[in-house]
Amino acid sequence: MSGALALLRRRPEFRALWAAIGLSYAGSGAATTALTLYVQQTRGTGTAVAAFLIASQVPRLLGPLAGGIADRTDLRTVLVGCDIGQAAVFVAIATLPPFGLLIALTALTTVLQTSYGPARSAMVPNLVEPDELIQANALLGTATNLYVAVGPLVGGLLFAAIGPSAALLVNAATFLGSAGLTTRVPATPPPADAEHEPLLAAAGTAARFVWRDPLLRTVTISLCLLVAFLAVDNVALVFLVRDTLGGSAFAYGLIEAVFGVGMLAGSFWILRGAGGGWAPQRLYLLSCSLSSAASAGSGVAPSLGVLAPVQAIAGSGNGIEIVAGETIIQQRVPRGLIGRVYGFTSSATSLGLGVAMAGGGLLVDATSPRATFLIAAAGALLVTLAIAPTMLRAPAAAPAGPRAT
């Protein structure tokens, strides 16, 4: 951790970005929880909650288009614009409009979040040295993981204490704070030789670049498949906790929080030692192995006391994967293309998540929660074994470009 603190001390511009991301992601996690509770309370149907969750996910498939915007625009402008836009939209949501409009506004916030991600990832190599990328991404992982580890707890407390409107206004304020911090980051215009292709062509450009690079191709395809298998826990976990293991609603919330703590632990583990000795592709393979093993462990867990640490392991695998995947992209992709490639890979992840949400429900209904976890583990293990040769053979990549000064 001393190395991470030293990185934050010697890179004040990166420190500002790190603080901005932590603030906005914690606020977003709180807002998502508050809105989920509001929809459940006022609409009272699973269909309504599902509609809200779908609206918060489907726009992420626009990742390549969002990446195209990041690659042709000053990155700081994109980040600040997305923050201010989300602050304005959450002020509108805080008026608690009719359900249809609330769904539309939720989708709009996701569009802005989807635009923020590629710009954030493309910004990092301009703020740190190439040999600091893994540590920098691990630090950002601790910030983004506040969405899962802290946001739900804060959102639930705010919802109970001051109501949904005030909770959403608090989130709007976090975005304004994030925008203020991001103004301390230097302007980062696109490279002079950057291609200004039509946005609709961005997906094709990213796909071709990914396909030509064996490591990027393996990461992108495996992310889609792994998420399609492993993310069935979004559906199966509540049934495993409540029905199979007889846990309370509080126990379910606690297990969800433990997963978020595991994500933080994965980032902290990298910061404490792995960053200096592990290539990102080996970290990625480790994350796949941990996630597969944790899915199997969840399927056979005899009690909540066993399930909790297993879910922490699952979270740590997810946290390590995020750091490794972003570092691989930053190392292998030129600055003027990072946004599009990041957007393309994140859309592949979102596609896998959609498959998991649909397939998870069918599997739980057709089999059982335990069987669903075990099927997911078997599929993820096969994917992990298939990608292992590529991950183990891939050499450490030369940095894609120097840090901006």
Any long-range contacts for 244-253 (C-beta under 8 Å, 24+ apart)? 244/368, 244/369, 244/370, 245/301, 245/303, 245/304, 245/307, 247/304, 251/304, 253/152, 253/156
Count of C-beta atoms within a 10 Å radius of residue 309: 14
Q: To which residue do tokens 């930053």 refer?
A: 330
The overall pTM is greater than 0.85 = no
Q: Parse the chain into domains and list their residue ranges.
A: 2-191+199-393
Per residue of the chain (405 residues), give pLDDT as tens. Answer: 566 778 888 899 999 999 999 888 888 888 887 887 788 678 766 567 667 777 887 888 778 778 888 888 899 999 999 999 999 999 999 999 998 999 999 999 989 988 898 889 889 998 988 888 888 888 888 888 777 667 767 777 787 788 889 889 988 999 999 999 999 999 888 776 666 666 667 778 888 999 999 999 999 999 999 999 998 887 788 788 888 998 876 677 678 778 888 988 998 888 876 545 688 999 999 999 999 999 999 999 999 999 999 999 999 999 999 999 999 998 899 877 888 888 889 888 888 887 887 787 788 888 888 999 999 999 999 999 999 999 988 765 544 444 444
Q: What is the pLDDT of residue 196?
A: 65
Cβ atoms of 131 and 123 within 8 Å: the answer is: no
pLDDT recorded at residue 317: 94
The CB density around residue 95, as the number of other CB atoms within 10 Å, is 12
- Check whether domain 2-191+199-393 has CATH 1.20.1250.20, yes or no: yes
Confirm if 307 and 240 have CB atoms less than 8 A apart: yes
User: Under 8 Å CB-to-CB from 134, ≥6 apart: which residues?
Assistant: 270, 274, 275, 278, 280, 283, 323, 327
pLDDT of residue 385: 97
DSSP 38-78: HHHHHH--HHHHHHHHHHTTGGGGGHHHHHHHHHHS-HHHH
Q: What pLDDT shows up at residue 297? A: 97
Closest CA to 182 of 367, 17, 1, 9: 17
